[in-house]
Structure 1
Amino acid sequence: MEYETIRYNVDGGIAVIRMNRTKVMNALNSQMRAEITHAVGAAQKEARVIVLTGSGNAFCSGQDLGDGRASNLDLERTLRDEYMPMLRAIIDSQVPVIAAVNGAAAGAGANLALVADVVIATESAYFVQAFSRIGLIPDAGGTWFLPRQIGHAKALGSILFAEPITARQAAEWGMIWEAVEDDRFNDHWATRAAQLASGPTEAYRHARTALRESFDNTLDEQLALESRLQGACGQTRDFREGVVAFLEKRPAVFEGR
């Protein structure tokens, strides 16, 4: 696929997907959703970590309401056929996904960030559940992720009042991993991505699975799941390398997959 709404490149095991519709603050249209979905799929074979970020001064302003079809959208179909495949591609990724939030993340754009495994935001960024301003409820996974990350009270307040949450607030509330000074942001997320790209990919994948399934499991079910996943990790070359490196008192050199 030739990309027109995103930029995609892979270097050093890091796949960077950069939303690139700066005139509309990287708002999501059908083509961008399809291209993100495709790029995440391509990265599974080419990279050990994915970074999703935005061009210009915004991360993503959500659904493109300036699209001539916006007021006539079949929202249920659009969410089912376009948003869900994009979100599932990220959630089901075999490698970790970082959202590097470089500016405003609004509506579905905010929730697109929250779907990632790790969210790193510049301090000038903010998140806003803007849906009630146009008579809608949060979508793109917002009603699932928000209460699990920040609790019912803050999640509902952010939805009803649709007020911006600063990156610093988001970090303090546990909604994102960290907020970073603007002048350090690009170097910082690149360093974080390189760290994951050189790590034990299978262990990362199984850890993500264990945490996500823990919300629906009993303790005994979770202990059994941990046993199975740990058994799988124990069969990897990365585990053997990690043990040898520990005994030899040197940094481990993981192969990833």
Structure 2
Amino acid sequence: METITLETKNGIALLTLNRPEVLNSIDTALIADMRTAVAQVEKDPEARVLLITGAGRGFCAGADLAAQGQRIEGMSVGQGVAHGMTIGFNPMMREIYALSKPIIAAVNGVAAGGGVGLALVADIVIAAKSASFVQVFGPRLGLIPDLGCTWHLPRLVGRARALALALMGDKLPAETAAEWGLIWKCVDDNSLMSEANAVAAKLANGPTNAFAEIRKAVDTATGNSFSEQLDYERDVQGTLGDHPNFMEGVKAFLTKREPEFKA
């Protein structure tokens, strides 16, 4: 894969966006490589958590506007944009979101446009103090935020802040992003990867099958009534309760030792 690197060690699959000369902006080649990598991580029993970061001075600058588009002859520019999302960007984001293993994003430098969506699709986002999040779509391009930004932003920071970020396109510093609840944590630049790896190691030793269900449960709750969510929790617990991880957790608790989860 030319646009990313993927290395799995000690249960952690480290995926690095590797187009530093263009701030790791997303083109068709990167989309293809990302989808291949995510599929590999899904199938690899040695990979228990996915950690995504960017090479160089930025995490991801969003779509590569200078790259050759996906427009087919006869399509308008707008139709070409929508077509590219249909066959590339959206499938990539759906496949990342559907990964049955925890996802961590270590945001180094700027995350702009679709790069914000790529960061926020992770379960846990850790950013360097020098990092920032910028919604460039509206004020710079006359578009709406995409790659899931309109889904994540209001859920994480509320409608008022989500609209202001999207309408004005101001840089949101990582420290403020953490204060607002957009991300999990902001850390010193020189400790970003050590912090991210520590979180990844903790998750890699956990019950990854349950972690995937936790993500689904939290997101499902926003569309459920309280009573509906209680039923949802009951149904999932019934499934997870039959998994060997639950019995291992119970035995470890009763014998006062650390559990050793296998999946």
Q: What TM-score do you get using the length of structure 2 for normalisation?
A: 0.93
Are 1:4 and 2:2 matched, yes or no? yes
In terms of mean alpha carbon deviation, does 148-157 or 204-213 score higher? 204-213
Query: 1:68, CA displacement in angstroms?
Result: 4.7
C-alpha contact 1:64 1:70 (8 A) present in aligned 2 = no
- One of 147, 150, 172 as aligned partner of 1:165: 172
Please, which runs of 5 or more residues in structure 2 have no aligned partner? Answer: 72-76
Are 1:89 and 2:87 matched, yes or no? no
* 2:37 matched residue in structure 1: 39
Segments of 4+ moved more than 3 angstroms: 68-73
The DSSP-based 3-state class of the residue aligned with 2:105 is strand
Are 1:247 and 2:254 matched, yes or no? yes
* 2:237 matched residue in structure 1: 230
Q: Deviations over 1:23-68 (max 9, x none)?
A: 1000000110111111111101221110111001110000112225
* 1:116 matched residue in structure 2: 122
Q: 2:244 corresponds to which letter in structure 1?
A: R
C-alpha contact 2:70 2:84 (8 A) present in aligned 1 = no
In terms of mean alpha carbon deviation, does 154-163 or 228-237 score higher? 228-237
* 1:179 matched residue in structure 2: 186
* 1:66 matched residue in structure 2: 66
The DSSP-based 3-state class of the residue aligned with 1:172 is helix
* 2:156 matched residue in structure 1: 149
- One of 26, 29, 35 as aligned partner of 1:28: 26
C-alpha contact 1:120 1:176 (8 A) present in aligned 2 = yes
| Alignment partners' CA distance in 1, 2:70 and 2:62 | 12
The DSSP-based 3-state class of the residue aligned with 2:166 is helix
Q: Deviations over 1:164-214 (max 9, x none)?
A: 001111111111111111121111101110111110111111111111111
C-alpha contact 1:171 1:179 (8 A) present in aligned 2 = yes
Q: Deviations over 1:127-168 (max 9, x none)?
A: 000112122111111111101110000000001110000111
C-alpha contact 2:70 2:83 (8 A) present in aligned 1 = no
| Alignment partners' CA distance in 2, 1:225 and 1:172 | 31
Q: 1:25 corresponds to which letter in structure 2?
A: L
Percent pairwise identity:
43
* 2:74 matched residue in structure 1: none
The DSSP-based 3-state class of the residue aligned with 2:24 is coil
In terms of mean alpha carbon deviation, does 201-210 or 150-159 score higher? 201-210
**Distance change in 2, residues 1:70/1:232 (3 Å):** closer
| Alignment partners' CA distance in 1, 2:113 and 2:53 | 16
The DSSP-based 3-state class of the residue aligned with 1:163 is coil
Please, which runs of 5 or more residues in structure 1 have no aligned partner? Answer: none
The DSSP-based 3-state class of the residue aligned with 2:256 is coil
| Alignment partners' CA distance in 2, 1:99 and 1:223 | 30
| Alignment partners' CA distance in 2, 1:29 and 1:67 | 6
Are 1:129 and 2:135 matched, yes or no? yes
| Alignment partners' CA distance in 2, 1:206 and 1:107 | 28
| Alignment partners' CA distance in 2, 1:222 and 1:5 | 41
**Distance change in 2, residues 1:70/1:79 (3 Å):** closer
| Alignment partners' CA distance in 1, 2:190 and 2:105 | 18
| Alignment partners' CA distance in 2, 1:150 and 1:70 | 33
C-alpha contact 1:6 1:17 (8 A) present in aligned 2 = yes
| Alignment partners' CA distance in 2, 1:204 and 1:171 | 22
- One of 100, 106, 112 as aligned partner of 1:100: 106
C-alpha contact 2:23 2:58 (8 A) present in aligned 1 = yes
> RMSD across aligned C-alpha pairs, in angstroms?
1.4
| Alignment partners' CA distance in 1, 2:241 and 2:185 | 31
The DSSP-based 3-state class of the residue aligned with 1:213 is helix
**Distance change in 2, residues 1:70/1:159 (3 Å):** farther
Q: 2:2 corresponds to which letter in structure 1?
A: E
